[in-house]
Amino acid sequence: MEKYAVMKFHSIFEKYRSDPIKNCELAKTIVKAMKHAVNRDLDAFKTMFWKLLWNLKLKGPRSTEVLKRLIDDKFWTPETFVIATDDDLDTECAAYRRHYRLLAFERIEHKTKYEVVNDDGQIEQRVGTLECPKCHSFDTDYLQLQTSRGDEGMTTRAFCNECQYRWKFR
The domain locations on the chain are 2-95, 113-169
Residues 122/134, Cβ–Cβ less than 8 Å? no
**Tens of pLDDT, residues 30-47:** 888 888 888 878 888 888
Q: 113-169: which CATH topology?
A: N-terminal domain of TfIIb (2.20.25)
Low-confidence ranges of the chain (pLDDT < 70): 58-63, 73-75, 86-87, 89-93, 104-118, 122-128
At residue 63, the pLDDT reads: 64
In the prediction, which pLDDT does 115 show?
Answer: 62
pLDDT computed for residue 67 by the predictor: 75
Q: What per-residue confidence (pLDDT) applies to 165?
A: 92
What are φ and ψ of residue 138, in 5° steps?
-100, 5
Q: What is the DSSP letter of 153?
A: P
Integer Cα distance of 61 and 93 in angstroms: 12
The rounded distance, in Å, linking the Cα atoms of 140 and 137 is 7
What is the spatial distance between Cα 77 and Cα 14, in angstroms, rounded to a whole number? 18
Distance (Å, whole) CA 70 – CA 81: 8
What dihedral do alpha carbons 37, 39, 40, 46 form, nearest 10°?
A: -50
Distance CA 34, CA 19 (A): 23
Q: How many CB atoms lie within 10 A of CB 9?
A: 25
Query: In this predicted structure, what is the pLDDT of residue 113?
Result: 59
